Amino acid sequence: MEQALWTRARLGRCGPQLDMLTARFRRHVYAPHAHDEFTIGVCVGGSEIIDYRGGRIRPGPGSIVVLSPGEMHTGGPGNTTDGYSYRALYAEPSLLTEGTLGGFPHFSEPLIDDPDLAAAILRTHTDLGANPDPLEAESRLPWLLTALARRHSTARPATDTIPGAAGIATVVRDRLADELLDPPSLAALAADLDLSRYQLLRAFRTTMGVPPYAWLAQHRVARARGLLESGLRPAEVAALVGFSDQAHLTRWFRRVLGVTPAAYRNSVQDDR
C-alpha cells in the first residue's frame, strides 16, 4: 500500500506552521529533490535506502535520519518485499539553534542511533498529528529539536542557567492562566521578557517541573472539575476551559484524574 498523510502543527498562536509526514510505501521511489527545511525522520518499519551526499543511507526501525536544507536526496525500498515506513518533521533551521551556539548546525552523520530521542520524536509526531494544539507544539518541538542539535550536530549547547528562572516561570504561568481560552505564544512571551524561547522553556520546566502546555492542561482540568460539579456536560465544559473539543478534554482529564469527565460528573452528581 502506498500511503502518505501530511499534517501541520502551528507553533503558538499566529505562529509559523511545521509540516509532518506519516508515510508507508511498498514500491515508491522518490525523484531526486531537496527541502528548504531540515528533514528529520524516524524509520518505523521495513527497509529503506536513501541516496545522500554521494553515498547510501540504510535506516532501520528506530533510526533517526537528518537531511540538511538544500541537499539533494532520494528514497526508496531497501528490498523487494518489506517496503518502508517512516514519520518525518520538516523544521526551519531556527528551531534547531535556539538553545545552541555556533550558528547553523551541521550533522556530519545523517544516520543517528539514539533510541530515547527517536522515541520522543515519534511520541511528539503522534500526539501533534492527533491534536495539533499550538501551545503544545511550541512547547515540545523547539525543545526536542534543540536536543537533537545539541547531541548530534556541530552546534555547542548554550548555557542552561537562567537567572531569575522562578520569577520568569511565574509570569508565564499567570499569563497562561489569565488567557486560557486563547493562550499567547511562547515566542511573544519570551520577547516581552527579553529571552529566547528556549530560555523561557528552560526556566519554566526547571521551576514548574513540566512544560507550559502541560501546566495549562492541568489548570484547565482543575477548572473543568468545578464546572462538571455544577452539572454542565463535558462538551460544554471543554469549550469553556479552552480545550479544542470534548476528546481533548477527556484525554487530559483521564491523564490527570484517572477517569473520564462524564464518569466524574456522574459520580459527583450521584453524591448529591
The pLDDT of residue 109 is 96
The pLDDT assigned to 2 comes to 87
pLDDT at 221 over 80: yes
Report the first-to-last Cα separation within the chain, whole angstroms: 55
Domains and CATH numbers, the chain: 3-152 (2.60.120.280), 159-209 (1.10.10), 214-270 (1.10.10.60)
Q: Binning pLDDT at 50, 70 and 90, where does residue 39 land? A: very high
The b-or-e profile of 30-60 (16+ CB within 10 A means b, else e) is eeeeebebbbbbbbbebbbbbebeeeebebe
| Residue 137: DSSP 8-state | H
| Sign, CA torsion 12/17/92/47 | positive
Q: What is the pLDDT of residues 4-29, one digit of tens each?
A: 999 999 999 999 999 999 999 999 99
Relative to beta strand 48-52, strand 76-77 is antiparallel
Pairing of strands 64-67, 38-46: antiparallel
Using a 10 angstrom Cβ sphere, with 0-12 exposed, 13-18 middle and 19 or more buried, the burial of residue 268 is: middle
Question: Which tens digits make up the pLDDT trace of 85-141?
Answer: 999 999 999 999 999 998 899 999 999 999 999 999 999 999 999 888 999 999 999
Confidence of residue 80 (pLDDT cuts 50, 70, 90): confident
pTM of the model: 0.92
